[in-house]
Structure 1
């Protein structure tokens, strides 16, 4: 179930303000047919100040060919290495008007001035159509000018959001290169520049451009222009992500390789690291877009913080690029700004990069990527990630999934939201068969693939970790030996008004099989959350568990799918969805979910067992054993996987006589592996080992008697290398069955096992 992309926000067309003038823009002149006045643009109409490209499309085309890019390293977040040209080569020699115009900025005016029209070039000077104030895009500094008695101008680099950016040398520090940012013309409002300066001076983060100083320079000579303030920033010599997007579209160099989606996610993680720092400082970035992110060397840095504001600033004009702006900001302006609106812009930035990236990643990874971005750009802010760090964690998970599916090498990382469980999504395959296997009235049971019943699955899935912000989090993290019923009572007496306690009581009730009580605790947890838990993945997860316990697998699948959309980088929802798909008979979907977990982390035994069941359903005994053999020793499911390998090698896959039996090599391997299993608390002999060996010999007897068994295997070249293989197998099986009789708990069972041993006893040779 791939989530639908959100619809693009509605952009009003240009029209004039007269109520009796309809459809003025239809004639294409740009002027009202009734009044002759210039038409208003969408940004002028709704009070938004459309931010321009930081470097501009023109500059990007001119300078892009000057950069070279080397391949990335092998680290998870490694990026290609950008080699920049000499800074002097980036200096702008033509004093062009900024593409798309600029915000007026006079006394808070958000009108766009200097916009090109009908294919004609924009004017560098003129008057604002709204407030009438003059504008001038001409740079105020020239090469050689000394600003603040310390910074010698080299030339113009670009026209930024509110003014020109200049390259300069710090003559006090060995000509260190810096960037000077001033206003387009001295009549502009100084407020935005001062806000940017104040915010930058408080910031110290490797992924955010650093302010070095601020200085004042006299206005243009021979004019009445007042002095101009300039911010002195570190010079970041690199490519903007808009330039990276162009290279992705051209499939150029490393950006045309199969790792491109991994690079996009790495960009996302680096950007979110910077946003998290800003948000913790009480600041909002407000203008995130590809042009405002610089890739220099193998690093990423946010630049142009001209739109940055404090979280509680609901008065300043809103600046931003409309395609990257959250819908609530377009609708509510400053009151719509929040950390979630920054996350929306981050999601749109990733989408802008990946839309040019060609084929999606393999397996489930492409869908996981789409869901990760879809949550960031959800229409409703509460449906987005709760914060930059939470979003980054999910992007890292998806990144690991993409890389592991591409390389077929695992890239594990512990989850912060789920705790691994010793339970295994397997009903029987990894367990030594119980004594009842020989008391069922028949001697030829088909190997059970081990798909658990839905009611048991809630106990086999990973367990959500307590929310650290919950008042009972520390209590719930303490180990306990209490059984589920006593645990429910103890938590009830704790006296916390805690959502996590209600959810833990819900799971304890599921363990007891008390589904009505589980539903009651889940309802209480839902009511304790804002919006009834509509945007809380924990509620959907526990609803899925409850639906499984009630046998409503389809309903459970819908709940787990919601969790997958909220947490696209987590293992747990994919395991749950893999089980649901397997249960409803959709092996292709189950394969995609299980592979996404298994390839990323080979210690996830539940995924390996799920894949093994799918192989067995196709009669692929070798494939099932190969999968389970790769469960590493560090996994808590390693011993169960080794036991399952022996049972699969010697298992009967079909009920009809002579069909679905293993071959000699498989039986031999099963007997070879048997002594290596950790059974009976590590003892070399014991009841579990006897039962498993009896199962192997039971199938071996059918194999030796099958018509398809070669004659050479029956005499001297078979399982035990004796002249009469059937005699050897019967002798060993009889001894094992008589040993099993000693495990019987009732006289009836004892008699049944002795009778079974007598039936397989070989005929005497005398």
Structure 2
């Protein structure tokens, strides 16, 4: 290895940031001993350039270091072309090469001809390590690049190179690079340079390629398209990562079965792992490279921009899994969902909670139908005729939106929108939604439809709406294959795993999404449910920590804080003999005060239901001896005064009776006919829980009231006494 010093940058969410590599000595000639330039002593090449030493040679010619005597002896690289190249396509495009201007492509300053030497190019001189040298260095000493962080730097190389390829592909007519490989890209300081522009040509023209990096769709003489460039980049990145011996090995690494086989461990909240990428990070990395290196062009990324978006997404996932830190960037393909998909855990207990003989567990995941209706929505495609109008639509009632779009001219995005609206509308259903999806597929056409991930996404929604979770998982897995850097397919797969009882897989998906963007409440709730289902010594703490990590600015913060209170209540209610119930209840009361006065739960009816659930848990702890009267008094002394928490058992029961009557009034005023029975149950509970008095049931009033009612009745009853006797004649 050439002597060099590698300085890693500080942790940063920028997916283009690279280490700084400083060579500790001049570059040495590589690849053998090329022939010297045949120049008489003191003669300048083209009267301007003074060659100093050989740097190496490649397929297009020999490279020499030289000084530009007309520009203050600036160092340049002179590439003398092989004679067979002089009459080729490169000779016709030398002017175009000089016009290339991109930070990640080496500059071509000039070109010329010198008798006895031949044609040559004057290039920008850069002195760094090629990516092949970087790969070898990282293999020998991975700690130089931060261990598993090296894979994030590999993705940074990809993002930078794609910027250069996108620049070439956007030319009119489009150009391709054609011969991308690790040896043709140099890490110079903190940047990258494509150092050999001799293979640049118009798309479809013959040119240089290299065996092992050449796409199977390249023509016999090197005729290439932009998607062939993406294949070469995918293979370059695969070699740098060391994933398998060929692109064929990426299939096994990217299978979801690898999650079970590797038994991935998800780092606990706040902890950091320094191991090499494994579990979901490895699957996502393998998938993004696999799509780039597919055999058919239609199966690869459509363009450099699409591939760059997915590399950025995988980078964010790898970084968050490695560090436990947020690595947020808005999704280019999905709109954030306003729904938390909390399965009602983040809401105050419903009134039906008090109609059950014993309180049901609050940890039930959202139903498949709810998931289908509330997953993130794909952004409308920019090429759709209705893109602007679709982008401005609010998330209104589905029937209203169906009516609003009824007279719009048919387009793929309009049909996909109507598919989702019909799934959400109670007057429609999966069959009507499927008709819209079939119409969208017809508009996409049979050639493109098999490769359009939007269709698989909506098929997954339809399968969920029908309760076919296994089928939905297969469709969402197909979406994950196509766009492995996106969070939405992983969120959908996490919910499918919950319903299939694959709790470790559910935790893997939800935690990856949650770490990447803690504001996504759905992932936090899913991670909490999965941790509680898996159990373990720290299950409760880690579940609550995932909810606490939902930031204050998130629209789901109140739901997350509500869920943390309810999880604490459930733990206190079901705690075993060795659990610290008083300590858990103290934490619940602290969280309850913050929920009411800092975290946004302002609805009076919801507050009443939450307080009733907490007070019942305390009463339950007293009844079964997990909390004694002294412990109750200490809880009251430590609680926020604004909660007015009772300090003794009698006051607690009075409060509970009052709360149950308030809930009964809520039920009586509810529009839900089933709540009428709940109101009766709550009234019974109100009289059962109150302290001992002259009455113990609402149908048996206390004695004093019975006597008063009797007297009041007697006083108001009509008189039945006979009229007084007459003692004389009646008055005239």
Could you state the TM-score of these two structures normalised by the residue count of structure 2?
0.82
Residue equivalent to 2:437: 522
Q: Is the Cα–Cα contact under 8 Å of residues 294 and 300 in structure 2 kept in the other structure?
A: yes
Partner deviation per Cα, 1:13-51 (whole Å, 9 max, x = no partner): xxxxxxxxxxxxxxxxxxxxxxxxxxxxxxxxxxxxxxx
State the alpha-carbon separation in 2 of the partners of residues 699 and 571 from structure 1: 38
Residue equivalent to 2:127: 237
State the alpha-carbon separation in 2 of the partners of residues 396 and 307 from structure 1: 27
State the alpha-carbon separation in 2 of the partners of residues 660 and 745 from structure 1: 41
Go from structure 1 to structure 2 and tell me whether the alpha carbon gap of 1:622 and 1:250 turns closer, same or farther (over 3 Å shift).
closer
Residue equivalent to 1:179: 77
State the alpha-carbon separation in 2 of the partners of residues 449 and 636 from structure 1: 21
Go from structure 1 to structure 2 and tell me whether the alpha carbon gap of 1:639 and 1:482 turns closer, same or farther (over 3 Å shift).
closer
Residue equivalent to 1:7: none
Residue equivalent to 2:95: 198
Go from structure 1 to structure 2 and tell me whether the alpha carbon gap of 1:748 and 1:179 turns closer, same or farther (over 3 Å shift).
closer
Residue equivalent to 2:490: 574
Residue equivalent to 2:397: 483
2:449 equivalent to 1:508: no
State the alpha-carbon separation in 2 of the partners of residues 589 and 740 from structure 1: 39
Shift of residue 558, structure 1, vs aligned partner: 0.6
Moved more, 145-154 or 190-199: 190-199
State the alpha-carbon separation in 1 of the partners of residues 405 and 294 from structure 2: 36
Partner deviation per Cα, 1:571-616 (whole Å, 9 max, x = no partner): 1001001111111111111111111111111111111101111232
Shift of residue 709, structure 1, vs aligned partner: 3.9
2:591 equivalent to 1:673: yes
Residue equivalent to 1:412: 328
Residue equivalent to 1:651: 570
Residue equivalent to 2:657: 734
2:552 equivalent to 1:633: yes
Residue equivalent to 2:185: 293
Go from structure 1 to structure 2 and tell me whether the alpha carbon gap of 1:187 and 1:273 turns closer, same or farther (over 3 Å shift).
closer
Shift of residue 764, structure 1, vs aligned partner: 4.4
State the alpha-carbon separation in 1 of the partners of residues 25 and 288 from structure 2: 38
Structure 1 residues 56-455: aligned runs within 5 Å:
64-75=1-12, 76=14, 77-85=16-24, 87=26, 89-91=27-29, 95-96=33-34, 139-140=37-38, 144-184=42-82, 186=83, 188-195=85-92, 197-219=94-116, 228-251=118-141, 254-255=144-145, 257-281=147-171, 282-311=174-203, 313-314=204-205, 316=206, 318-329=207-218, 333-334=221-222, 337-355=224-242, 360-438=276-354, 440-442=355-357, 444-455=358-369
Number of aligned residue pairs: 644
Q: Is the Cα–Cα contact under 8 Å of residues 142 and 150 in structure 2 kept in the other structure?
A: no
2:582 equivalent to 1:664: yes
Shift of residue 252, structure 1, vs aligned partner: 5.2
Residue equivalent to 1:471: 385
Moved more, 523-532 or 205-214: 523-532
State the alpha-carbon separation in 2 of the partners of residues 532 and 188 from structure 1: 39
Partner deviation per Cα, 1:159-181 (whole Å, 9 max, x = no partner): 12221111110011111001111
Q: Is the Cα–Cα contact under 8 Å of residues 230 and 292 in structure 2 kept in the other structure?
A: yes
Instruction: Choose 1 or 2 for highest CA Rg.
Output: 2
Partner deviation per Cα, 1:346-385 (whole Å, 9 max, x = no partner): 0000011111799741441111101110010011111111
Residue equivalent to 1:30: none
State the alpha-carbon separation in 2 of the partners of residues 70 and 408 from structure 1: 23
Go from structure 1 to structure 2 and tell me whether the alpha carbon gap of 1:359 and 1:480 turns closer, same or farther (over 3 Å shift).
closer
Query: Secondary structure of 1:201's partner?
Result: helix
Shift of residue 91, structure 1, vs aligned partner: 4.8
Shift of residue 644, structure 1, vs aligned partner: 0.7
Could you state the TM-score of these two structures normalised by the residue count of structure 1?
0.79
Which of the residues 594, 597, 600 maps onto 2:513? 597
Q: Is the Cα–Cα contact under 8 Å of residues 578 and 593 in structure 1 kept in the other structure?
A: yes
Looking at secondary structure, tell me which structure has more helix per residue: 2
Which of the residues 672, 682, 686 maps onto 1:753? 682
Residue equivalent to 1:539: 455
State the alpha-carbon separation in 2 of the partners of residues 606 and 436 from structure 1: 24
State the alpha-carbon separation in 2 of the partners of residues 681 and 205 from structure 1: 49
Q: Is the Cα–Cα contact under 8 Å of residues 353 and 360 in structure 2 kept in the other structure?
A: no
Q: Is the Cα–Cα contact under 8 Å of residues 264 and 354 in structure 1 kept in the other structure?
A: yes
Go from structure 1 to structure 2 and tell me whether the alpha carbon gap of 1:236 and 1:555 turns closer, same or farther (over 3 Å shift).
same
Go from structure 1 to structure 2 and tell me whether the alpha carbon gap of 1:629 and 1:93 turns closer, same or farther (over 3 Å shift).
closer
Partner deviation per Cα, 1:222-247 (whole Å, 9 max, x = no partner): xxxxxx22111111111111111111
Query: Secondary structure of 1:306's partner?
Result: helix
Partner deviation per Cα, 1:610-634 (whole Å, 9 max, x = no partner): 1111232245333322221111011
Go from structure 1 to structure 2 and tell me whether the alpha carbon gap of 1:760 and 1:250 turns closer, same or farther (over 3 Å shift).
same
Shift of residue 744, structure 1, vs aligned partner: 2.8
State the alpha-carbon separation in 2 of the partners of residues 659 and 491 from structure 1: 60
Go from structure 1 to structure 2 and tell me whether the alpha carbon gap of 1:253 and 1:630 turns closer, same or farther (over 3 Å shift).
closer
Go from structure 1 to structure 2 and tell me whether the alpha carbon gap of 1:682 and 1:216 turns closer, same or farther (over 3 Å shift).
closer
Q: Is the Cα–Cα contact under 8 Å of residues 561 and 577 in structure 1 kept in the other structure?
A: yes
State the alpha-carbon separation in 1 of the partners of residues 599 and 542 from structure 2: 29
Residue equivalent to 1:27: none
Residue equivalent to 2:726: none
Q: Is the Cα–Cα contact under 8 Å of residues 73 and 79 in structure 1 kept in the other structure?
A: no
Moved more, 72-81 or 203-212: 72-81
Residue equivalent to 1:105: none
Q: Is the Cα–Cα contact under 8 Å of residues 157 and 165 in structure 1 kept in the other structure?
A: yes
Query: Secondary structure of 2:339's partner?
Result: coil
State the alpha-carbon separation in 2 of the partners of residues 723 and 740 from structure 1: 19
Go from structure 1 to structure 2 and tell me whether the alpha carbon gap of 1:408 and 1:749 turns closer, same or farther (over 3 Å shift).
closer
State the alpha-carbon separation in 1 of the partners of residues 20 and 120 from structure 2: 31
Q: Is the Cα–Cα contact under 8 Å of residues 423 and 433 in structure 2 kept in the other structure?
A: yes
State the alpha-carbon separation in 2 of the partners of residues 242 and 683 from structure 1: 57
Shift of residue 68, structure 1, vs aligned partner: 3.2
Shift of residue 195, structure 1, vs aligned partner: 4.2
Go from structure 1 to structure 2 and tell me whether the alpha carbon gap of 1:608 and 1:252 turns closer, same or farther (over 3 Å shift).
closer
Residue equivalent to 1:109: none
Go from structure 1 to structure 2 and tell me whether the alpha carbon gap of 1:384 and 1:502 turns closer, same or farther (over 3 Å shift).
same
Go from structure 1 to structure 2 and tell me whether the alpha carbon gap of 1:684 and 1:187 turns closer, same or farther (over 3 Å shift).
closer
- Root-mean-square deviation over aligned CA pairs: 2.9
Query: Secondary structure of 1:156's partner?
Result: strand
State the alpha-carbon separation in 1 of the partners of residues 241 and 210 from structure 2: 18
Shift of residue 471, structure 1, vs aligned partner: 1.1
Q: Is the Cα–Cα contact under 8 Å of residues 250 and 256 in structure 1 kept in the other structure?
A: no
Query: Secondary structure of 2:110's partner?
Result: strand
Q: Is the Cα–Cα contact under 8 Å of residues 467 and 473 in structure 1 kept in the other structure?
A: yes
State the alpha-carbon separation in 2 of the partners of residues 694 and 188 from structure 1: 85
Gaps of 5+ in 1: 1-63, 97-136, 221-227
Moved more, 370-379 or 521-530: 521-530
Query: Secondary structure of 2:451's partner?
Result: coil
Shift of residue 665, structure 1, vs aligned partner: 1.9
Query: Secondary structure of 1:517's partner?
Result: helix
